[in-house]
A and B are shown apart, each in its own frame.
Chain A
């Protein structure tokens, strides 16, 4: 079975531009979460979507937004890019159950802002 997939794998943008990152969850998974990982740090939670509704938001500015589609895939949008937005963006999917909520991560999208 295919794991979590993300596109593109790498992206270079300039300050002020907008970017859209895409994620397809594991088949059957209905929850998608987004994380930002700056070099040398652990991932930081950005958003969680479940059944197309936002269920959680981390401490990120309004320039960050996301949505989930009927097929449970998701997009992360970042407006007015800053140099500090350069990071590895990770998507995770899960099938929430009462006793377990194991998160499965994709390979990430490396965003470089110049």
Chain B
């Protein structure tokens, strides 16, 4: 059974800092990995998707890496801004059940002025 863990559970940083969020998963036979952002009480916004054959993806100030063999992914946020404050969720899917995502519990990020 796939299990996804995210560390830290919460993080507070001053504006302008670079930061790294971590995600680990127990079964390396994944189809892809997605990072999402969730604002309080809202739905999920897809940030980045990394296919199992890829090592990283970049979008603006965000960079996500994937190391399938070690069961790890990181989300790097450069030059953080108060608008980045949200919960960040990592989710993996497996071959044969590609639309079924297994989520971590998220990292709650607060960027202070």
A48 touches B100 (CB 8 A): yes
B4 touches A42 (CB 8 A): yes
Bound CA span A6–B43, Å: 10
Question: B32-54 toward A: CB 8 Å interface, digit per residue (1/0)?
Answer: 10101000011111100101000
Question: A85-102 toward B: CB 8 Å interface, digit per residue (1/0)?
Answer: 000101010101001111
How many of chain B's residues have a CB under 8 angstroms from any CB in A? Answer: 26
List A contacts of B51 (CB < 8 A).
99-100
How many of chain A's residues have a CB under 8 angstroms from any CB in B? Answer: 32
Bound CA span A107–B102, Å: 19
Contacts A92-B44, A108-B42 aside, 12 further interface pairs with beta carbons under 8 A come to A6-B43, A31-B99, A43-B44, A43-B89, A55-B99, A56-B100, A58-B100, A90-B43, A99-B51, A102-B32, A105-B44, A110-B41
